[in-house]
Amino acid sequence: MGALFSRMIWFFVVTSLLSYATFLIVGNIAHAQASGKNLPVVIRDELGTGVHHLSGMIMVPTPCDQISVRTEKTSDTAFTLVFRTWHEPSAQCAKEETPRYFRAMLFAPSTGVTFIATLDGAGFPIVVMPVLPSRIVFE
């Protein structure tokens, strides 16, 4: 009788811990999707001959935060967009997300190139939309 009672208590404890862990994981995923934090950043890639002109908008935590971007070659066909933010220390700002525009130029083949991105060392999802440069035709 004692062994049966002991097993029931262990079963209850393990089941409770697994349920709580599942609740935390699913809750965080649902909260991230509801807040839009998992939405990818759309980056416009204006293609040229051997060059990519990348541009887009990234949200920063406050109006006092600024952003910089640089590119790193990780392989022959893969590049990383490294975004860094910094806070203007001389100003007081409300904590409201603010969009910041960025531009970067990358010399690489026009096709077969992949991009990943990091923001302050953490990866985040991006979607790169290739476009042909707009040409003005005078007749």
Rounded CA-CA distance 127/30 in Å is: 22
Rounded CA-CA distance 17/4 in Å is: 20
Rounded CA-CA distance 67/59 in Å is: 9
pLDDT computed for residue 79 by the predictor: 94
Distances 48 to 6, 24, 102 between C-alpha atoms, Å: 71, 47, 18
C-alpha angle with apex 35: 31 to 37, nearest 5 degrees?
95
Secondary structure percentages of the chain, helix, strand, coil, to 5: 25, 45, 30
Task: Please state the three-class secondary structure of 106-139 as a single string.
Answer: EECCCCCCEEEEEECCEECCEEEEEECCCCCCCC
- In sequence order, the β-bridge partners of residue 136 are none
**Do residues 41 and 127 touch, judged by C-beta distance below 8 A?**
yes
pLDDT computed for residue 33 by the predictor: 61
Amino acid at 69: V
Q: Is 118 helix (H, G, I), strand (E, B) or coil?
A: strand
pLDDT tens digit string along 42-87?
999 998 888 999 999 998 888 889 999 999 999 988 999 999 998 8
pLDDT tens digit string along 1-35?
788 888 889 999 989 988 888 888 877 777 666 65
Every domain of the chain and the residues it spans: 1-39, 41-131
Residue identified by tokens 């952003």 is: 67
